[in-house]
Structure formats: structure tokens, C-alpha cells
Structure 1
Amino acid sequence: MWFLGIGVALFGWQWYKLGPVYNWTWEQLGWVSIPFVLAVLWWSWADWSGYTKRKAMEREDAQREARIEKHREQLRGPRR
């Protein structure tokens, strides 16, 4: 996601002639495409390796554990 944000920022700066890319020509914008390519490569690897699914399962497990703990606390009732 960071790669995509960097690419969008660089492209926006070039489009509006702002920031460090002010003097770059459109031919030099090949450098701006590098973060987009890296983002595609990252997402491809993440899907291929199972990283995305593993992280989603970890989030689901954490939510389930939090829900179970919340219900345990409710079943214990107020402490005296």
C-alpha cells in the first residue's frame, strides 16, 4: 500500500508542478511508475504466497478471541 501512496503522491506533484518533482519532465516520470510496478509485484507475491489469506485469518482469530473474552467477562458478572 505504501508503494501505491508514494506513486500517487509523485504523480500528483508532477501533475500540479509541486514539490521535489517540479522540474522533472514527463520523460523522467518513468521513475514515478516504479512504485506502481512495485505495488503490483507486492500484491502478486502476497496473493501467490498466501500472505494475504494468512493475515486475514489472523485478524479473524483475534476478533474471535476478543469476542470470547468479552463474553467470559460478561458471564462472570460484576466483582464485589
Structure 2
Amino acid sequence: MAFIVIGVLMLLLHFAGLGPTAAWDPLSVTGFAKFSVPFLLALAWWAWADGTGLTKRREMDREVEKQKERRKRHIEAMGLGPDQRSSSFRRR
């Protein structure tokens, strides 16, 4: 995502006429190459992340965290949480 943001910022700076990107000609081969580098790096990163399973592992970790939070909320809603359980034993 950072590479995409950098590429978009480069394009915005170019069209605004600010910074070193203002002098680059996007229609020339070298100018096009300079503007396309961040987008190509983003493409390479996404291909690597998907190919190694990094994206799927992150998704699975998020699902596990959601399940833990859901389970915790349900236990507390039933009054079986650690606070409720310890206080009920003290009353007896």
C-alpha cells in the first residue's frame, strides 16, 4: 500500500508542478519508467505476499482474534467470566 501512495503522490506532485517530478516528462521512456517504479514495486510485493501465503496467514490470524473476542463477550454475557466466577465463590 505504501508503494501505491508514493506513486500517487509522485503523480500529484508532477501535475501540480512541484518538486523534481515536475520536470519529468511522463510520455518519454525514462519519465514513464520513473513514474511506474512504485506501482511495479507494489505489484511485486503483492505477488510475493500472495505467493508465500503471507496474506492468507494474516487473514487467518484476524479470524482467530475475532473468534476469541466473540467467545470472551459471550462468556461475560452469560456471567461466567473470571470476575463473575470468582465473586460467586466468595459469596458462598
- Is residue 74 of structure 1 aligned with residue 46 of structure 2? no
Aligned length: 80
- Structure 1 stretches lacking a partner, 5+ long: none
Q: Specify the SS of the correspondent of 1:9.
A: helix
Mean alpha-carbon deviation: is it higher for 11-20 or for 21-30?
A: 21-30
Letter in 1 for 2:43: V
Q: Which runs of 4+ in 1 moved over 4 A?
A: 77-80
Higher relative contact order (CA 8 A, sep 6+): 1
Q: CA deviation at 1:33?
A: 1.4
- Equivalent residue runs for 1:29-68 within 5 Å: 29-68=32-71
Give the whole-Å Cα distance in 2 for the aligned partners of 1:75 and 1:14. Answer: 59
- Structure 2 stretches lacking a partner, 5+ long: 88-92
Q: When the two structures are superposed, what TM-score results if normalisation uses the length of structure 1?
A: 0.83
Q: 1:21 maps to which residue?
A: 21
Give the whole-Å Cα distance in 1 for the aligned partners of 2:23 and 2:41. Answer: 24
